[in-house]
Amino acid sequence: MTDLLIHSMSEFSDLILAGLTLAGARHIVEIGAEHGGMSRRLAAHVGEAGGRLTCIDPAPSPTFSAWAAGRPEVTHLARQSLEILDDLTGIDAWLIDGDHNWYTVFHELAAIERASRRDGTPLLAFLHDVGWPAGRRDQYYDPERIPAAFRRPHDWDGGATLGEPRLVPGRGFRGMGAFAFAVEEGGPRNGVRTAVDDFLAGALAEGRDYAFASIPAVFGLGVVFALDAPWSRALADLLLPFHDNALLRRLEENRLRNYLRVIALQDEAAARREAVGLAAS
């Protein structure tokens, strides 16, 4: 049932595509394709512009792989993002929606900045999951890929719940074996939004200033972009009505509470089925 609830970066596609158009982005990199919902929209965009889409995902769905194989404007790289970002050149814009933890996202942004400075292209990056639950809590698809010094204590079974900094065993938003969450929310080097904050603070300390917009809906969309880009004012005007919007924030909290209630109903139904099965045996 939770699959029917909105959760994807593709929910922001109209806004993202409008931003890409303002920036004249023709070669786009998408980190994290999964089922390809956003990839299809990006492919249509670059196809019209005569550009290219590079998707980085080590284990996307078979549906995505089959689709990408039939699109000449799409290149799929079945690799970890941090293994190959430094090798990519001539990129106009980046979408980050892969492994939602501090170490990965911080180093993705650092690699993207290096590429942008090397190629002389203004930095433009769209990041999903800057809001709850992964904004201030690491999520790991493969914890062993994160160096031990940056890997927080984590749990595959505990779930995140609103207002509770620690995971709750067997309840709340959880990976059901697909991913693990950091046991504690908050603190240094924990979560996607914290990675963005630390990247921006480091850049500013070295004299490089970027703009950042945060859209508090559907797990949160962040946009990092160069202030000196020729299109920065137009992009800022596009994003400003949504940035830290109080109404969107209230609607998102309501959506999350409903999302968690659906999960709770699923858990209750599963417990009843298990009880009936035990009684029958």
> Could you give phi then psi for residue 131, rounded to 5 degrees?
-100, -165
Average pLDDT score, the chain = 95
> For 85-99, what is the mean pLDDT?
97
pLDDT for the residue 280: 77
- Is residue 4 predicted with pLDDT exceeding 90? no
- Is residue 119 predicted with pLDDT exceeding 70? yes
Which residues are paired to 182 by β-bridges? 154
CATH T-level assignment (fold) for domain 2-280: Rossmann fold (3.40.50)
Buried b (16+ CB within 10 A) or exposed e, 99-115: bbbbbbbbbbbbbbbeb
- Is residue 175 predicted with pLDDT exceeding 90? yes
